[in-house]
Amino acid sequence: MSRARHVGKIRRRLEDVKSQWVRLARADFSDHESARLATDALLDGGPEAYRQVLSQEGEVDFLSSAETQYIQAQAKEPPCTPDTPGGAEARTKGLDSCSLQSGTYYPVASEDSEPALLHTWASAEKPYLKERSSTTVYFQTDKHSNIRDLIRRCITRTSQVLAILMDVFTDVEIFCDILEAANKRGVLVCVLLDQGGVPLFQEMCDKVQVSDRHLKNISIRSVEAEVYCAKSGRKFAGQVQEKFIISDWRYVLSGSYSFTWLCGHVHRNILSKFTGQAVALFDQEFRHLYAASQPVMGLKCPRLVAPLPPRAGRSPPPGRLSGSSCSASGRLSSNPFSSPSTGSNPQNRSLSVSSGPSSPPAPNPPPPPRFQ
């Protein structure tokens, strides 16, 4: 009597959900060993080895053609080992023994200690802890609130620190806004780019002839996403597709928007603004990624110094940006989403959800420490 053919977990569930006679089973969220074996085979032997493992495991083809091409294009060889007396056989055995610890489906998080900047950053006073929590959503279809203009207005009105996490950065006008904020107004700018988007950013810098000497108060660093390691030692890294901006520790802009011309003029995107306690989650995520990043251009190690003493004279009226580093900032509302032509009330062009007491908000807290 022939032995029953093994059926993979995904194939078995597909057969169950397509049949109306099979009772609904509980969803299985455990690790998929067949998928791991097939992915390892794709990394080590290519598409033919991948299909062979799928056949042996009785599993369906769970990777799209784009994912297969990405894995093959991003695959990296294991670190080269020095020549040993045993020759190739000894090197293979040594590789096998060393690769056992990396044979895991899920990557291990880095345990590197955070740079000194991040310890000071974490201990600095954060205005979002004292502000009311709210969420405002903007859509690309709303022509009265252009997402690209909202982002540029946010950068223009930042007065102390600007933290940016972006996958692709090729928009020259937004780059000019960042250069102006750092070089003209003394804003400390920290930009984290996905490692795969660094060549495009450097290509933009070469086109506009911007080098390290033009990046005053700017730190450009790269970071990679999770890393998949096979038993053989071959591996590939994912992409950082998170995109958000932290302005003066007061609010966050996050959504699907990338710093590209296409996103500003053709692609459909969504943008959300968060204030209050939600900003703390983005602050923590940025510091975690910054600790694992590598320098690309600009400042290698930004330093946080003591806050500047208050200037003598009459304090600015409520609702305006602190300080007078920008000539136009004194005349504009502190809300970066207000426009002289459309007004400061976002109710007619976005969905706004707020939480907190209904009483009037407290006076603006003192500004956070300035950066040098």
* Tens-place pLDDT, residues 215-241: 988 999 999 999 999 999 999 999 999
One domain, residues 43 and 122: no
One domain, residues 57 and 171: no
User: What is the predicted pLDDT for the residue at 317?
Assistant: 37
* Tens-place pLDDT, residues 75-132: 998 876 544 444 444 444 444 433 333 344 334 444 344 455 555 666 667 777 778 8
Contacts 24+ apart (CB under 8 A), 41-46: 42/68, 42/71, 42/72, 43/71, 43/75, 43/228, 43/230, 43/232, 43/234, 43/235, 43/236, 44/230, 44/232, 44/234, 46/72
One domain, residues 159 and 256: yes
Residue 328 clears pLDDT 60, i.e. is over it: no
Does residue 69 form part of some domain? yes
Contacts of residue 298, defined as CB under 8 A and 6 or more positions apart, other chains included, come to 212, 215, 218, 219, 220
- C-alpha dihedral (81, 87, 89, 94), degrees to nearest 10: -30
* pTM flag (> 0.85): no
Residue at token pair 């591996």: 235
One domain, residues 79 and 200: no
Does residue 54 form part of some domain? yes
Enclosing H/E stretch for 48: helix 47-57
Q: What number of other Cβ atoms are within 10 A of residue 70's Cβ?
A: 16
The residue-averaged pLDDT of 29-55 equals 91
One domain, residues 183 and 205: yes
One domain, residues 271 and 160: yes
Lowest-pLDDT range of 11-20, 169-178, 305-314: 305-314
The b/e string for 310-337 (b: 16+ C-beta within 10 A; e otherwise) is: eeeeeebeeebbbbebbeebeebbbebb
The residue-averaged pLDDT of 274-283 equals 93
The residue-averaged pLDDT of 133-155 equals 90
pLDDT class of 347 with cuts at 50, 70, 90: very low
Residue 134 clears pLDDT 60, i.e. is over it: yes
One domain, residues 144 and 80: no
User: What is the predicted pLDDT for the residue at 126?
Assistant: 75
Cα dihedral across residues 217, 175, 204, 269: positive or negative:
positive
How far, rounded to the nearest angstrom, does the alpha carbon of residue 324 sit from its chain's CA centroid? 31
**Whole domain around residue 278: which residue ranges?**
116-308+331-339+347-355
One domain, residues 139 and 81: no
For residue 125 the two structure tokens come to 């006073």
One domain, residues 66 and 133: no
Does residue 368 form part of some domain? no
Does residue 44 form part of some domain? yes
Q: Which of 27-36, 150-159, 342-351 has the highest mean pLDDT?
A: 150-159
Lowest-pLDDT range of 9-18, 48-57, 263-272, 327-336: 327-336
Q: What number of other Cβ atoms are within 10 A of residue 50's Cβ?
A: 23
Instruction: Label residue 259 exposed, middle or buried (CB < 10 Å: 0-12, 13-18, 19+).
Output: buried
Contacts of residue 372, defined as CB under 8 A and 6 or more positions apart, other chains included, come to 188, 217, 303, 304, 305
Backbone angles phi, psi at 193, to 5 degrees: -115, 145
User: What is the predicted pLDDT for the residue at 330?
Assistant: 37
Q: Is 80 helix (H, G, I), strand (E, B) or coil?
A: coil
One domain, residues 147 and 262: yes
We report the CATH number of the domain holding residue 236 as: 3.30.870.10
The residue-averaged pLDDT of 146-153 equals 94
- Count of domains for the chain: 2
